[in-house]
Amino acid sequence: MISTNKILHFTIIEVVVAVTILATSLTALLTLSFTAQQRLARAAEKQQHFHMLQQAAEYYMLQPNKPDSVPDTIFDYPNFQPSCTIDESPGMVEELNDESALIQLDVWTIAVTDTRTNNVVESIQIDRLHYDED
């Protein structure tokens, strides 16, 4: 008579191989997940830095004269400080002697600095027409 009950027999080697394959798969999945989380955190931090730089640049560029600092009501980010420096555009003529000459350009460098580490996290350079104060 043939028995209808089938009994599965596995050797210890087959079980070890199956567990090893399962462990390797889980390790790869967890590594992939951890890497994705790290990239997501870096992207969110970069987006926040860019947003802070955008707010500082908009504030500075809308002012008729360069202000000393951005008010906390505009730039409310603890541990971060915006700054702006103005330099003459390189290669510009020292003296503009007639109306047909080129208009002076200024280079505005706007940066956001992390005050905890004193590192610039984001910066931008903007060419802007130079306006005489008179």
What is the secondary structure of 11-79 as a DSSP string? -HHHHHHHHHHHHHHHHHHHHHHHHHHHHHHHHHHHHHHHHHHHHHHHHHHHSSS--SS--TTT---TT
**Chain-centroid distance, C-alpha 10:** 54
| pLDDT digit string, tens, across residues 34-68 | 999 999 999 999 999 999 999 999 888 888 777 77
pLDDT at 46: 94
User: pTM of the prediction?
Assistant: 0.67
| pLDDT digit string, tens, across residues 67-117 | 777 888 888 899 999 998 888 776 655 555 555 556 778 888 999 999 999
* Residue boundaries of the structural domains of the chain: 12-129
Round to whole Å and give the CA distance between 70 and 55.
10
